[in-house]
């Protein structure tokens, strides 16, 4: 599994049809400070891997530092740049005895 992307996403997607989060962070780094920080932490992690200085604990620390900021950056990008995912005006519907009615709406009063 590649350490740049979360499990099952990006480079680690089963279909391999998703972009790497590093590409996403590069696109948003000018506007989102968390994305820029994630790129910085990735560079430090890659440098530590290439140099192999220190113990495995150092690499683990650098990888986890990147993963923490990566996850925060993904949340920040989603919350800031994808407001259409949270549409408060969308009303959920549910079925009531074969008919569709809006959740929270009261059934029509029938005269007997």
pTM comes to 0.69
**Is residue 107 a part of any domain in this protein?**
no
Q: Is the residue at 73 inside a domain?
A: yes
Q: 99 lies in a domain? A: no
Query: What average pLDDT is seen over the chain?
Result: 80
CB 27 within 8 A of CB 3: no
Average pLDDT, integer, range 81-104: 54
pLDDT greater than 50 at residue 46: yes
User: What confidence score (pLDDT) does residue 17 get?
Assistant: 87
In the predicted model, is pLDDT for residue 89 greater than 80?
Answer: no
Q: How many domains does the chain have?
A: 1
Where in the sequence is the domain holding 66, given as residue range(s)?
Answer: 10-84
pLDDT of residue 37: 97
- Residue 16 located in a structural domain: yes
Sign for the CA dihedral angle at 20, 23, 25, 31 comes to negative
Query: pLDDT > 70: what percent of the chain?
Result: 72
């Amino acid at each position: 599994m590649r350490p740049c992307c979360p499990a099952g996403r990006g480079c680690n997607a089963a279909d391999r049809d998703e972009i790497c989060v590093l590409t996403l962070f590069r696109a948003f780094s000018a506007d989102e400070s968390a994305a820029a920080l994630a790129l910085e932490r990735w560079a430090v992690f890659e440098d530590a891997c290439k140099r192999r200085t220190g113990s495995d604990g150092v690499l683990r620390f650098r990888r986890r530092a990147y993963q923490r900021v990566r996850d925060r950056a993904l949340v920040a990008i989603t919350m800031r740049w994808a407001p259409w995912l949270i549409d408060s005006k969308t009303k959920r519907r549910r079925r009531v005895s074969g008919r569709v009615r809006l959740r929270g709406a009261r059934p029509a009063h029938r005269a007997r």
